Amino acid sequence: MRAPPTAAPLLVALGLAACHRAPARPTTPTVAAVGEPTPRRPVIDRYHGVAVTDDYQWLEDTDAPEVRAWVAAQNRRTRAALDPIAGREAIERQLTTIFHAPAASYARAVHRGGRLFAMRSRPGGQQPFLVVMPSADERAAERVVLDPNALDPSGQTAIDLFAPSHDGRRVAVALARNGSEVGTLHIYDVETGRELGDTIERVSNPTGGGSLAWAADNAGVYYTRYPREGERPAEDMAFFQQVYFHALGADPATDRYELGRESPRIAETELSTSPDGRYLLAAVANGDGGEFAHYLRDPAGAWRQITRFEDGVTAVEFGPDALFLTSHRGAPRGAVLRLPLTATSLSAATVVVPQGEAVIEQVVPTATRLYVVDLVGGPSQVRVFDHAGHPHGALALAPVSSVRSMVHTTGDAVLFRAETYLTAPAWYRAGGDSLTPTVTAMRDEAPVSFDDAEVVRELATSRDGTPVPVMVIRRRGTTLDGSNPTLLGGYGGYGVSMTPSYSPTNRLWLDRGGVVAVAILRGGGEFGEDWHRGGNLTHKQNVFDDFIAAAERLIALRYTAPAHLAIRGRSNGGLLMGAAFTQRPELFRAVYAGVGIYDMLRVERDPNGAFNVTEFGSVRDADQFRALHAYSPYHHVTDGAAYPAVLLTTGEHDGRVNPAHSRKMAARLQAASAPGRPVLLRVSARSGHGMGSSRSEVIAEQTDVWAFLFEQLGMPAPQ
Rounded distance, CA 663 to CA 653, Å?
14
Is residue 286 within 8 Å of 293, Cβ to Cβ? yes
Rounded distance, CA 612 to CA 625, Å?
14
Cα–Cα–Cα angle for 117, 123, 127, nearest 5°? 55
Residue from 408, 564, 635, 689 carrying the catalytic annotation? 689
Counted residue by residue, the chain has a size of 719
The secondary element (H helix, E strand) that includes residue 544 is: helix 541-556
Rounded distance, CA 349 to CA 343, Å?
8
Q: Are strands 515-519 and 486-489 parallel, antiparallel or unpaired?
A: parallel
Compute the chain's Rg from CA coordinates: 25
Beta bridge mates, 305: 295
Give buried/exposed letters for 400-419 (b at 16+ CB in 10 A, else e).
bbbbbebbbbeebbbbbbbb
Rounded distance, CA 380 to CA 301, Å?
38
Known catalytic residue at 689: yes
Known catalytic residue at 629: no
Output the 3-class SS for 82-145.
HCCCCCHHHHHHHHHHHHCCCCCEEEEEEEECCEEEEEEECCCCCCCEEEEECCCCCHHHCEEE
Closest CA to 398 of 375, 374, 380: 380
Residue from 571, 618, 632, 687 carrying the catalytic annotation? 571
Rounded distance, CA 613 to CA 34, Å?
37
Is residue 679 within 8 Å of 662, Cβ to Cβ? no
Local structure of residue 96 (DSSP, 8 states): H
CB atoms under 10 Å from CB of 507, counted, come to: 18
What is each CA distance from 391 to 369, 374, 375, 385, 606, in whole angstroms? Answer: 10, 14, 18, 4, 47
Closest CA to 425 of 503, 333, 349, 309: 503
Rounded distance, CA 469 to CA 174, Å?
39
Is residue 695 within 8 Å of 671, Cβ to Cβ? no
The secondary element (H helix, E strand) that includes residue 609 is: helix 607-611
Q: At 65, which amino acid appears? A: P
Rounded to a whole number of angstroms, the distance between the first and last alpha carbons of the chain is 37
Closest CA to 473 of 446, 511, 521: 511
Q: How many CA atoms lie within 13 A of 409 on its CB side?
A: 20
DSSP secondary structure letters along 596-631: ----TTSGGGSHHHHHTHHHH--TTSHHHHHHHHHH
Is residue 498 within 8 Å of 378, Cβ to Cβ? yes
Q: Are strands 565-570 and 590-594 parallel, antiparallel or unpaired?
A: parallel
Closest CA to 605 of 194, 125, 126, 7: 7
Task: For residue 152, give the 3-state DSSP assignment.
Answer: coil
Is residue 425 within 8 Å of 404, Cβ to Cβ? yes
Q: What phi, psi does 152 have (nearest 5°)?
A: -145, 90
Local structure of residue 322 (DSSP, 8 states): E
List of residues 6+ apart from 191 with CB closer than 8 A: 169
Is residue 9 within 8 Å of 605, Cβ to Cβ? yes
Rounded distance, CA 351 to CA 326, Å?
10
What is each CA distance from 626 to 51, 451, 515, 522, 606, in whole angstroms? Answer: 12, 49, 37, 20, 20
Q: Which residues are catalytic?
A: 571, 689
